[in-house]
């Protein structure tokens, strides 16, 4: 994500970040050809030169739950992105504003991990991730993953349907939106010391979107518990929307009457709006969304409306689309 039109309080990155991070970011941005739009994002070959510290066996207490049965209803028309490619190319600004955050993200402390559920619910609660994992019907789904920066992947996510979480949380009829928040800990995640970002990362969806079959809470990938850089131990996958909606490392889930103003929306509302549904015909203010670069092949392919999931989700926007822009 490149925020060029920064709010007045956004200072230059070189003024606030360690030089190594700044130099690294400049190198990545140069590789991306900034100005052509992030669609030109590259640097993957460079990434492969860096070793990734693998999580030690047994470090994640949920390891025994995986692999989980695959739900064959979710098929792909292209091959899966190899795990090693996915593990080395991530957006997780808490650990750096570039793609090579995999080693830094290993400092994410994933246990104990509690999730608070509150707001418009019958009873507020806090649940430990391992208790939630026991209560939810885990399955694997093959999903497309399309970043607003115009690169894409295909990922075998493990997790459970968002609507199972809604049933578990028992919201009242007043709930219209769900807000999701990440942890806040700048000692653990140095990116959160970058004070011009509105931490913690915040995202949201409507109750109708949460009830759609595709909305998925992710707890694993590639038949294993989630690696830290994927947003362990709990993240979202909303495959018909741009990837920034898929918030990582969720700590707090709140059922609300009001719509949230999410992390990126606070920074650049005309570029990263609330709906953020994928549409190849609606240009990002700074680059085209007509095509995407398939991460592991480098091939450029046409982007599909709703990222190819229109049949399942277009109905969600029939009414709201008459009065609001639903593509940014
Ligand atoms: N969640 C948090 N907490 N922090 C982030 O920086 N980046 C988002 C999203 N979720 C982000 C986040 C963006 S921009 C994208 S494209 C996806 O995570 C990237 O997911 P991936 O690294 O698994 O490909």
What are the φ and ψ backbone dihedral angles of 138, each rounded to 5 degrees?
Answer: -80, 140
Nearest atom of ligand 1 to the alpha carbon of 229: 22
Q: Which of 1, 39, 91 to mutate to test the pocket of ligand 1 (most atoms within 8 A of CB)?
A: 91
Give bridge partners of residue 321 from the DSSP assignment: none
Cα-Cα-Cα-Cα dihedral sign, residues 195, 199, 201, 205: negative
- Residue-wise over 39-53: b if at least 16 C-beta within 10 A, else e? bbbbbbeebeeeebe
Residue ranges lining ligand 1, Cβ < 6 Å: 1, 90-94, 145, 147, 182, 201, 230-231, 243-244, 246-249
Which structure tokens are listed for 17?
């970040």
Q: Which residue has the tokens 């009001």?
A: 258
CA of 317 from ligand 1 middle (Å) equals 24
The residue whose CA is least distant from atom 8 of ligand 1 is 244
Per-residue pLDDT of the chain (328 residues; tens, 9 = 90+): 766 544 333 333 333 333 333 333 333 333 333 332 333 333 333 344 445 555 554 579 999 999 999 999 999 989 999 999 999 999 999 999 999 999 999 999 999 999 999 999 999 999 999 999 999 999 999 999 999 999 999 999 999 999 999 999 999 999 999 999 999 999 999 999 999 999 999 999 999 999 999 999 999 999 999 999 999 999 999 999 999 999 999 999 999 999 999 999 999 999 999 999 999 999 999 999 999 999 999 999 999 999 999 999 999 999 999 999 999 8
Measured from the Cα of 249, ligand 1's closest atom is 3
- Give the pair of three-digit tokens for residue 31: 């590789």
What does the alpha-carbon distance between residue 263 and residue 314 come to, in Å, rounded to a whole number?
25
Residue 32 sits at the vertex; the CA angle it makes with 29 and 33, to the nearest 5 degrees, is: 95
Ligand 1, residue 242: give the atom nearest the CA.
Answer: 16
Residue 229: name the closest of 176, 274, 191 by CA. Answer: 191
Domains of the chain and CATH, by start: 13-322 (3.90.420.10)
pTM: 0.86
Closest ligand 1 atom, residue 93 Cα: 6
């Amino acid at each position: 994500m490149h925020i060029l039109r920064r709010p007045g309080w956004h200072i230059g990155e070189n003024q606030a970040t360690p030089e190594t991070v700044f130099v690294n970011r400049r190198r990545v941005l140069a590789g991306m050809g900034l100005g052509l739009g992030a669609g030109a994002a590259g640097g993957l070959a460079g990434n492969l030169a860096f070793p990734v510290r693998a999580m030690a066996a047994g470090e994640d207490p949920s390891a025994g739950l995986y692999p989980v049965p695959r739900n064959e209803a979710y098929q792909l028309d292209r091959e899966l992105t190899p795990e090693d490619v996915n593990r080395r190319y991530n957006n997780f600004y808490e650990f750096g504003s570039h793609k090579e955050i995999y080693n830094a993200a290993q400092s994410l402390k994933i246990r104990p991990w509690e999730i608070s559920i509150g707001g418009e619910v019958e009873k507020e609660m806090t649940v430990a991730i391992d208790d939630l994992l026991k209560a939810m019907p885990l399955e694997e789904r093959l999903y497309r993953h399309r970043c607003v920066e115009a690169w894409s992947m295909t990922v075998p996510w493990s997790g459970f349907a968002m609507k199972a979480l809604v049933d578990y949380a028992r919201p009242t009829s007043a709930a219209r939106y769900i807000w999701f928040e990440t942890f806040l800990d700048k000692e653990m995640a140095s990116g959160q010391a970058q004070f011009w970002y509105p931490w913690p990362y915040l995202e949201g969806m409507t109750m109708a979107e949460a009830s759609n079959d595709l909305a998925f809470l992710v707890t694993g990938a590639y038949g294993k518990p989630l690696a830290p850089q994927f947003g362990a131990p709990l993240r979202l996958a909303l495959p018909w929307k741009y990837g920034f909606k898929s918030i990582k490392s969720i700590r707090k889930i709140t059922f609300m009457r009001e719509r949230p103003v999410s992390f990126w929306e606070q920074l650049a509302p005309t570029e990263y709006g609330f709906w953020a549904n994928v549409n190849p015909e609606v240009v990002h203010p700074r680059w085209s969304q007509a095509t995407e670069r398939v991460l592991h092949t480098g091939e450029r392919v046409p982007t599909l409306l709703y990222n190819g999931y229109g049949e399942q989700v277009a109905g969600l926007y029939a009414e709201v689309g008459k009065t609001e822009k639903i593509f940014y």
